[in-house]
Structure 1
């Protein structure tokens, strides 16, 4: 991968091979992770949780596959009230009960955190969006407002690209070799960001968490599963929903977001014209999510 090496430069600045500017660059290090807690759920799986903010309403945030609390927190930066962030089973410090797991298991994790914290609104990103869909098929009136960010799968399995990425990540984390994990995690970043101070800070934070806590093997089977038997299972959901997709995202096809928005009776769809919106459209994304949830 041209322009990438591990370990990173000590000053977090960009470094490329070959001739070119080489002056010192400074970068802001990643913020230390806040202290989390382990909570016991009614279905017997202890999950890692972080609670921020105060007052009502309460919003629960569900992360993507291989992600976690740290990567989900930016979505709630402008949201009013109390916010519940957690790690699905097999992620972070959450327990990994014997598998295989399915989206019903993930929906139980999500429901438990929401119920224990009194959440009336829910946000789901990628895998978290699928778990939220599965929960809603059982309890369509559970939440007052819903946000789906980059939904990846509904009633049709994900493609080979997603399966390969998850397999590669699990194998790299299992190896414990930082450079191998870094090669996979770097693919989460837009090319223009990969060799910048912000990109290095993100990479350091992700590697610290993944190499410390690992990922459970039970996650591998999720890429072949779907949260819904048929998309019509969502027609009973009447809560206002915001669905956000991105054109050109191979892991989260925009067609999935479009189908989800059509299936939900009270949904609004917004599609960004390119992937990597957490980097290229961060302010707009934050305002769009908080504006919808806070209004």
Structure 2
């Protein structure tokens, strides 16, 4: 699967892969990319079923999504890299870092989980997307992605993310929901060798801090920070704090 990607930053710099959340595009990382591309060779990409990438019929698996990014890196001739992912992007990051531990230099896992039930919820979301489109879930999803204060004070940023969500192909969204439904990465976490930073958001209803704590406790020597006054898309609600944390972890 040849997914859509963007490559930016100095050609001789260390490589950093940025992996976004379900129902968004690589633009989700724009705030971070502006800073990180000065120090890193950035690889941003869209999952299968999202934006510029192909939309094969679902269901997908985390193995599929992880295999897509490894295939992309192989095509680009990239052997060693660091990885930063949010939500399903963090799930892909855990899979990749446990599948090819010798290739991952450092790992950042934002607002994510190694096991995210109940399964019925993901089945219902997939069915809704296929029957009615992704747009019907926009209000519900954005309420979970951003705190009420952020939605009031930054409607233009919320609308930008809402557009990404509305324009996500129904089959792609559904296929990724089914990947999350069947995912259980808990048995893989002990195989991760890369120094790992877990970033959680204090007011995240989708992946509360206890999900991050479980990941931190299972990955050898991982550490964790909690960003206050933020919901799920912590990198958009608090871009400077998250960018600084990522940069410090990758360069320490």
Are residues 1:123 and 2:80 paired?
no
Structure richer in helix, relative to its length: 2
Structure 1 residues 265 and 181: alpha-carbon distance in aligned structure 2, compared to 1, 3 A threshold = closer
Are residues 1:255 and 2:216 paired?
no
What does 1:55-204 align with in structure 2 at a 5 Å threshold?
Answer: 55-79=12-36, 80-117=39-76, 118=78, 120-152=81-113, 154=114, 156-159=115-118, 163=122, 166-167=125-126, 170=129, 174=133, 180=136, 182-187=138-143, 188-196=145-153, 198-203=154-159
SS of residue in 2 equivalent to 1:262: helix
Q: Radius of gyration: which is bigger? A: 1
TM-score by length of 1: 0.72
Structure 1 residues 227 and 135: alpha-carbon distance in aligned structure 2, compared to 1, 3 A threshold = farther
The unaligned stretches of length 5 or more in structure 1 are 1-44
Structure 1 residues 172 and 147: alpha-carbon distance in aligned structure 2, compared to 1, 3 A threshold = farther
Residue pair 2:61, 2:180 contacting (<8 A) in 1 also:
no
SS of residue in 1 equivalent to 2:150: coil
The structural deviation recorded for 1:172 is 8.9
C-alpha RMSD over aligned residues: 2.8
The unaligned stretches of length 5 or more in structure 2 are none
Q: How many residues are aligned here? A: 242
Residue pair 1:254, 1:271 contacting (<8 A) in 2 also:
yes
Higher relative contact order, chain-length normalized (CA < 8 Å, sep 6+): 2
> Can you list the C-alpha shifts for 1:32-69, whole angstroms capped at 9, x where unaligned?
xxxxxxxxxxxxx1211111211310111111111220
TM-score by length of 2: 0.83
The structural deviation recorded for 1:226 is 1.4
How far apart in 2 are the matches of 1:172 and 1:290? 42
> Can you list the C-alpha shifts for 1:203-233, whole angstroms capped at 9, x where unaligned?
1x334444445242323312322142xx243
- Correspondence for 2:9: 53
Which of the numbers 193, 196, 219 marks the counterpart of 1:238? Answer: 193
